[in-house]
Structure 1
Amino acid sequence: MFESRYDVVVVGGGHAGSEAAAAAANMGSKTLLITMNLQNIAQMSCNPAMGGIAKGQIVREIDALGGYSGIVSDKSAIQFKMLNKSKGPAMWSPRVQSDRMRFAEEWRLMLEQTPNLDFYQEMVAGLLIEKNKVVGVKTSLGIEVYAKSVILTNGTFLNGLIHIGEKNFGGGRSGERAATGITEDLVNIGFEAGRMKTGTPPRVDGRSLDFSKMIEQPGDDDPAKFSYLDITQPLKEQRSCHMSYTSEEVHDLLREGFDRSPMFNGAIESIGPRYCPSIEDKINRFADKDRHQLFVEPEGWNTIEYYINGFSTSLPEEVQYKALKAVKGFENVKFFRPGYAIEYDYFPPTQLKHTLETKLVDGLYFAGQINGTTGYEEAASQGLMAGINASLKVQEREEFILNRDEAYIGVLIDDLITKGTEEPYRMFTSRAEYRTLLRQDNADFRLTEKSYRLGLAGKDRLQKMEEKKQQSEDFVSFFKETSVTPEEANPVLEAKNSAAVSQSGKMFKIFARPNITMQDMRNFSAVEDYIQENNIGQEALEQTEIQIKYSGYIEKEKNNADKLHRLENIKIPENFDYSHLQSMSMEAREKLNKIQPKTVSQASRVSGVSPADISVLLVYMGR
């Protein structure tokens, strides 16, 4: 069957579980992935896409750390877009439309080719815990599997309840049963649990849609990719998405079913994602809007199934159908399946350490929606970090934690364990105070060396990164050292309506002008010759341009991050009792006693803790 003792057991085969299993196994830990259905590994339960605002940065970070999400996304992509190109590079966010079936297949095949990894299909119904330490799991068939560490990545399956209108039934995803037993085990030993909700739109038959009435949304003319490795290539062909709009008629038809909506009749009490609301929630909350965008997304290269992004709903099926028929291009729509909402158990993440290990049970890790997050990318990054840390613990090596100025992944985990979340947490660029440092283009510079030290990134990946970094640094030096005459510079400047120069100066100064691009600089023969002679690739060109244009902003953020690190270096003793700090507010004492931050910097980010409270703590620590 399989072995009875493992270093790491991963429960759940979604995005978090897949990354956790891959990381632990690739670091040399004997790993078992147990999931309820091996056919649905890394299933895209919601939209067929990876990346997007801030999420694309996370996928690139996962790739730089040696995770699989970027490679799988590239291999199964049907369209690529770099979002926010009109803004600064801190906001550029890569996104792909994915072939849903190929995405899951690529994940399955990559995991099967990963050494040290075993698989088993069954439901885990409970945990084996001795003296506040996890020692394994037990399945619904009563099989006991022993492990030195366990990672729970149960997604929406823990006591999952699906809602469609007045009807509800147990399930973790459409057509799949819920998982039971684990929540009860954890609550019995002292964990706090809660309920959250998410939803999904109807899936429809593309043959029944009239795309001529919609707005085409093609991919980029010159598509890039997620993975820094050469094993994947940018797309040569792409499939378009389309866009349509709801209308007042559509809204009126939806309102007719509001009294039967579990969102409004009390059947659903848990909180859903604020930034991905259901269509009924949007109509209710934004009553002044007479229309909302709907993105019509193909589910793959060859399938006729389409995903209606923006029409997430739990209304009765006939109400969904009637309203969608009133949308332009959907007059003859045929459903594959209706939209639905799902409620599930989660565990407030303030019960975790920065490693994603639980504070209550040694060797037990949580990753993904069990921590109150929403989104494939957020889940995958937590799975990766939990897999890394579970493996490090087993190998008795130092824990791996990313700071807020090192990665969006660091921001995500710090937000979760320091502030907690009462609604599904989604990553945004605005959550990162150092987003100029945390760009999608430099994730390899930030993280590859760390991954190499962990044993995930190979020597070839490290060398590739170092070569690119050296290339861009040398090219920046070239611009700083090379002069240009007014006769050479002014034709280029005039073509861009930029002020002429009257004397010779360094190219760096001209390039630093906001409206001058790398393409403009290539009009200088010295620049083009340098590029050709040194065989400089597209990523190094982009990196050079960013380093020149945004050097002031980057330097400023680095200085701010350095100041923060001083507070990070002030450690707080373990199990510190804040109760006797009478000068501190009551709320701060309660919150800090609950969270038990490891540093003064983390304490300053706890919700309800004021700068005055931190001053009190600093005075005490000074003593």
Structure 2
Amino acid sequence: MFQERYDVIVVGGGHAGAEAAAASANMGSNTLLVTMSLQTIGQMSCNPAMGGIAKGQIVREIDAIGGYSGIITDKSAIQFKMLNKSKGPAMWSPRAQNDRMRFAEEWRLALEATPNLDFYQEMVKGLLVEGNRVVGVRTSLGIDIKGKAVVLTNGTFLNGLIHIGDKQFGGGRAGERAATGITEQLTDFGFDSGRMKTGTPPRVDGRSLDYSKMIVQPGDSNPEKFSYLDTVLLKEQRDCHMTYTSPQVHDLLRDGFDRSPMFNGRIKSIGPRYCPSIEDKINRFADKDKHQIFVEPEGWHTVEVYVNGFSTSLPEDIQYKALKSVKGFEEVKFFRPGYAIEYDYFPPTQLRHTLETKLCEGLYFAGQINGTTGYEEAASQGLMAGINAHLKIHEKEPFVLKRDEAYIGVLIDDLITKGTEEPYRMFTSRAEYRTLLRQDNADLRLTPKGYKIGLAKENRLRRMEEKLNKSDAFISFFRDTSVRPEEINPILDSLDSSLVKQSDKMFKVFSRPRVTMDHMLQLDSVSDFVVENNLDREVLEQTEIQVKYSGYIKKEKNNADKLNRLENVKIPDSFDYSKLKSLSFEAREKLEFIRPVTISQASRISGVSPSDISVLLVFLGR
């Protein structure tokens, strides 16, 4: 039934598993994707959307390296928004609403068109291990499949337990059974495990809603897209809507608190802090008399609607009564109630930066098994695990992104170095170099790296180089070209900006806060340059950011370069921290457990002080 031995076996077909399988296969590894259901590959288990604050940057990074998430999102999008446009470009974050069924279909078709990739539908019950190395997987039918590397992307399925009020039953997702056996084997092997919780709102019939009572939430008038390739821009979009809860809704929800698994002790694990359930919101923010509800269509043609902001595990009758009291939902019909799910995860401090486990060679973890939440966080980990599994078995250098190179680098470094005791979600505030890690320049940062390891194709690299060369040429034009007072002063006067008295370089004028590319394009010489050089919107945006934020970008790059010097100070794998009596007890304990690779990583571990780092530097002769 199977090849004698696969290069990479990926367990799970969610966002992490799909990216892992695509990456290893596209790089040339014979890959097998094993999943409990081939019908749910790339399933959007929760909200029908990709991107958002910091998450949109991650999708752009996945695309730049050569992953599929950006392409799949563009092909199935029904609405696009660039969030935070009123702020600086470091905060701009793309987000798309998607057609849930088309998203999964596009993932399936993309994977089926990927060479070197086989599929098999069955539950994996355990791993095949020889010594401290994984050598394959064992299925629920008792079939052994051999592999040189295994990537576990089990999502919420490991011993998953679904809660709706005082009812609970095993399951990894609504209508799907839980996965058993793997957690028990890994803990017997010496891994630490824990439990986490997440939740999802009810799905309702859009035909039963009164949208006239809600606030319309349209997409951008000039929508962009995620992929840097030639995916098609949206010409038509579907509106979302917004409404609010009320004190009456809150009172109805409180009536069910005594039957809530969150409050009666049935759920003991920790849920996502930044995506709380509706009962958690009205309990924690009792002073608020209303909360936003976003009404999101699930596709172009379906009537199913996702009630974003109403995640809950309350009894179904309480959910129904409360939601009927929300404006526009008076006649609501349920497709299914919301629920909470508890599942096993493995604290990610047990991993290397490649996402390979420290205890078992050739075994990689990606996605919610590492304690993260979100499609985008999962997909990026799957991409990196698939890449590194391929590189390891072909005896090549690992692929690790630093904190100043990508949000993906921040995400993985946070997980490995700091760990997480609650579902980890990415925010722009987690990145100390977010001026460098913008959504607009992910291709400039990462496509050369993706090409070097053999994942990003040459056509992607050529597009990136063309964009870079055109942008550099346009910036040079602004640096070298002067503008006369009679040309620029009418524009400056309309902006209440001080007038110039003599000719000055365009770069200097363009750097003024209120002067935009649209204003500069009013100058004949600038508009002529754009037409003659066939500059598109991407190049114009990149040029404007580089001109207006050049000082900030340079300063942040210098800071990153200084700290990166510590990345070059390696700590030997076998380093014995117990020898250093000058280290604090907590530092010795944390360093021994996490085993950082560099001094820079050691400095980011909670409980390791600057004096501890000084001791290490002295001992290492630095």
Please indicate, yes or no, whether the TM-score normalized by the shorter chain is above 0.5. yes
Equivalence for 1:307: 306
The answer on 1:238 being equivalent to 2:237 is yes
The structural deviation recorded for 1:252 is 0.5
Query: How far apart are the structure 1 equivalents of 2:300 and 2:380?
Result: 27
TM-score normalised by structure 2 residue count? 0.99
Equivalence for 1:568: 567
**Which letter maps to 1:173?**
R
Equivalence for 2:551: 552
Equivalence for 1:397: 396
**Which letter maps to 1:486?**
P
Per-residue CA deviation, residues 14-63 of structure 1 (Å, 9 max, x unaligned), is 00000000000000000000000000001000000000000000000000
SS in 1 for 2:440: helix
Per-residue CA deviation, residues 507-552 of structure 1 (Å, 9 max, x unaligned), is 1111000101000000100000000000001100000000000001
Q: Is the 8 A contact 2:53 2:428 kept in 1?
A: yes
Equivalence for 1:5: 5
Query: How far apart are the structure 2 equivalents of 1:575 and 1:422?
Result: 28
Q: Is the 8 A contact 2:7 2:393 kept in 1?
A: yes
**Which letter maps to 1:356?**
L
**Which letter maps to 2:180?**
T
SS in 1 for 2:441: helix
The structural deviation recorded for 1:203 is 0.3
Mean alpha-carbon deviation: is it higher for 4-13 or for 571-580?
Answer: 571-580
Equivalence for 1:16: 16
Equivalence for 1:359: 358
The structural deviation recorded for 1:5 is 1.5
**Which letter maps to 2:523?**
F
Query: How far apart are the structure 2 equivalents of 1:477 and 1:454?
Result: 32
Query: How far apart are the structure 2 equivalents of 1:110 and 1:443?
Result: 22
Query: How far apart are the structure 2 equivalents of 1:556 and 1:450?
Result: 24
Equivalence for 1:490: 489
Mind listing any 5+ residue stretches in structure 1 that lack a counterpart? none
Per-residue CA deviation, residues 399-426 of structure 1 (Å, 9 max, x unaligned), is 1100000000000000000000000000
Equivalence for 1:274: 273
Equivalence for 1:98: 98
The answer on 1:203 being equivalent to 2:194 is no
Query: How far apart are the structure 1 equivalents of 2:387 and 2:129?
Result: 22
**Which letter maps to 1:269?**
K
Equivalence for 1:526: 525
The structural deviation recorded for 1:590 is 0.5
Per-residue CA deviation, residues 427-448 of structure 1 (Å, 9 max, x unaligned), is 0000000000000000000011
Structure 1 stretches of 4+ with a deviation exceeding 4 A read none
Equivalence for 1:506: 505
Equivalence for 2:123: 123
**Which letter maps to 1:296?**
V
Query: How far apart are the structure 1 equivalents of 2:579 and 2:199?
Result: 45
Per-residue CA deviation, residues 140-178 of structure 1 (Å, 9 max, x unaligned), is 000000000000000000000000000000000000000
The structural deviation recorded for 1:3 is 2.3
Equivalence for 1:67: 67
Q: Is the 8 A contact 1:512 1:549 kept in 2?
A: yes
Equivalence for 1:253: 252
The structural deviation recorded for 1:86 is 0.2
The structural deviation recorded for 1:616 is 1.6
**Which letter maps to 2:492?**
L
Mean alpha-carbon deviation: is it higher for 316-325 or for 569-578?
Answer: 569-578
The structural deviation recorded for 1:184 is 0.6
The answer on 1:294 being equivalent to 2:293 is yes
Equivalence for 1:450: 449
SS in 2 for 1:236: coil
**Which letter maps to 1:279?**
I
The structural deviation recorded for 1:4 is 3.8
Q: Is the 8 A contact 2:217 2:242 kept in 1?
A: yes
Query: How far apart are the structure 1 equivalents of 2:134 and 2:15?
Result: 23
Per-residue CA deviation, residues 198-250 of structure 1 (Å, 9 max, x unaligned), is 000000000000000000000000000000001x1110000000000001110
The structural deviation recorded for 1:394 is 1.1
Per-residue CA deviation, residues 78-131 of structure 1 (Å, 9 max, x unaligned), is 000000000000000000000000000000000000000000000000000001
SS in 2 for 1:441: coil
Query: How far apart are the structure 2 equivalents of 1:141 and 1:254?
Result: 44
Query: How far apart are the structure 2 equivalents of 1:348 and 1:458?
Result: 35
**Which letter maps to 2:93?**
S
Instruction: Please tell me the root mean square deviation across aligned C-alpha atoms, in Å.
Output: 0.7
Aligned ranges 1:415-434 → 2 under 5 Å: 415-434=414-433
**Which letter maps to 2:500?**
V
Q: Is the 8 A contact 1:575 1:596 kept in 2?
A: no
**Which letter maps to 1:80?**
F
Equivalence for 2:586: 587
Equivalence for 2:35: 35
The structural deviation recorded for 1:459 is 1.2
Q: Is the 8 A contact 1:273 1:374 kept in 2?
A: yes
The structural deviation recorded for 1:580 is 2.5
Query: How far apart are the structure 2 equivalents of 1:87 and 1:610?
Result: 35
Q: Is the 8 A contact 2:483 2:506 kept in 1?
A: yes
Query: How far apart are the structure 2 equivalents of 1:290 and 1:620?
Result: 58
Aligned residues between the structures: 622
Q: Is the 8 A contact 2:2 2:145 kept in 1?
A: no
Query: How far apart are the structure 2 equivalents of 1:611 and 1:427?
Result: 26
Mean alpha-carbon deviation: is it higher for 581-590 or for 70-79?
Answer: 581-590
**Which letter maps to 1:210?**
D
TM-score normalised by structure 1 residue count? 0.99
The structural deviation recorded for 1:561 is 0.7
SS in 2 for 1:440: coil
The structural deviation recorded for 1:578 is 1.5
Q: Is the 8 A contact 1:136 1:144 kept in 2?
A: yes
Q: Is the 8 A contact 1:4 1:144 kept in 2?
A: no
Per-residue CA deviation, residues 263-301 of structure 1 (Å, 9 max, x unaligned), is 000000000000000000001111111110000000000
